[in-house]
A and B are shown apart, each in its own frame.
Chain A
Amino acid sequence: MTAVDPCDWCEEVLQPYLDRELTDAEREEAESHLAGCSYCQKRYRFEEGLRRYVRQAVVEPMAPALKQRLSELRLEL
């Protein structure tokens, strides 16, 4: 087996890590690498920030009038 560069591995698992989809063992390995690697840590913080940023950018509250219209779509009793 060829040795995998730990930063390459970290890049590979970073998205599933942020998605909370890693196994416990993988998560621990990723966290222990992140704790000691400033290169990956910086990118981890960026990716985490980007995720939050994307979420905020497209999220606008639903218009109250729409909520009312949805409620009116209920069937007659």
Chain B
Amino acid sequence: MSETSSDGARRLAEGARDRVNFEEEALALADQVYRVARGFSRSKEEAEDLMQETYARAFRSWQSFTPGTNLRAWLLRILTNLNIDRGRRAQRTPDQQPLEESDYFLYNQLEAASGETEEQRVLDRLSQDNVAEALAAVPHDFRDVVVLVDIGDFSYADAAQILDIPIGTVMSRLHRGRRILKKELADLAVESA
């Protein structure tokens, strides 16, 4: 075998090894990626479809990932873009909704409704179903940020990078998204009381 063809074979073998490493690392992060996919989706089936599309695309374009950078954020960026492509954006326009409540709105509502002053008991008035339903009611631009930060545990900077928006926009959407979520939770909790 000539020197050149054995070099070529070695490069091929190295490329295959890099790819396998990449795939294994990506699969090891699947649980964390799924958490965010589930937060974005209304059903388990929808989350599973989104995961499969995300991983199919990630495996196809593995060479565009720069080794040593944040793979979790890279995967989440693919997932977020696919989620946007699915046209889950345009719904109601949240900016037109009046929202004057303070950050403590939910606490104050629940405290008033239950007469409880112990914060754990106040929290006990919510049900897990309420949370999923309330989250689904938050408009997507806002929900994306809330899901990434509150459920995915990403920093503001990572969320900004994933969604390709300025960090100030992450902060304002987070602020508003959490208030909308609390308003929805308060409405559901009062309804079910």
Inter-chain CA distance A11–B183, complex, in Å, is 17
Q: Chain B residues near A19 (CB, 8 Å)?
A: 149, 155-156
Whether the pair A54, B103 counts as a contact (CB closer than 8 A) is no
**CB within 8 Å of B: which A33-77 residues:** 42-43, 45-47, 49-51, 53-63, 66-67, 69-71, 73-75, 77
Closest to B154 in A: A19
Q: Are A70 and B31 in contact (CB under 8 A)?
A: no
The verdict on A49 contacting B55 (CB below 8 Å), with A61-B31, A67-B30, A70-B27 known, is no
Partner of B155, one of A21, A46, A47, A56: A21
* Given A58-B39, A70-B30: A46 and B59 interface contact (C-beta under 8 Å): no
**CB of B23 closer than 8 Å to a CB of A:** yes
A42 to B174, CA, bound (A): 22
A-B pair count, CB < 8 Å, reads: 98
**With a CB–CB cut-off of 8 A, which chain B residues contact A60?**
38, 44
Nearest CB of chain A from residue B181's CB, rounded to whole Å:
8
- Which residue on B lies nearest to A44, using beta carbons? B119
In chain A, residues 1-45, which have Cβ atoms closer than 8 Å to a Cβ of chain B?
Answer: 11-12, 14-16, 19-21, 42-43, 45
Interface-located stretch among B65-73, B87-95, B122-130: B122-130
Partner of A42, one of B20, B119, B128: B119
Specify which chain A residues have a CB less than 8 angstroms from the CB of B23 in the assembled complex: 74
B-chain residues with CB within 8 Å of residue A61 when the two chains form the complex: 31
**A77 contacts across to B, CB distance below 8 A:** 16, 19-20
> Chain A's interface: helix, strand, loop or mixed, by majority?
helix
For the complex formed, measure the closest distance between the CB of A52 and the CB atoms of chain B, giving whole angstroms.
Answer: 9
CB-based contact B27/A75 at 8 Å: no
B119 lies within 8 A of A56 (CB): no
- The closest CB in chain A to the CB of B22 belongs to A74
Q: What residue in chain B is nearest A12 (Cβ atoms)?
A: B103
Q: Is the CB of A46 within 8 A of B107?
A: yes
Binding site for B on A (CB under 8 A): 11-12, 14-16, 19-21, 42-43, 45-47, 49-51, 53-63, 66-67, 69-71, 73-75, 77
Query: What are some 13 contacts across the A-B interface (CB < 8 A)?
Result: A11-B103, A16-B171, A19-B156, A42-B117, A47-B103, A47-B107, A53-B126, A63-B48, A66-B52, A69-B52, A70-B27, A73-B55, A74-B59
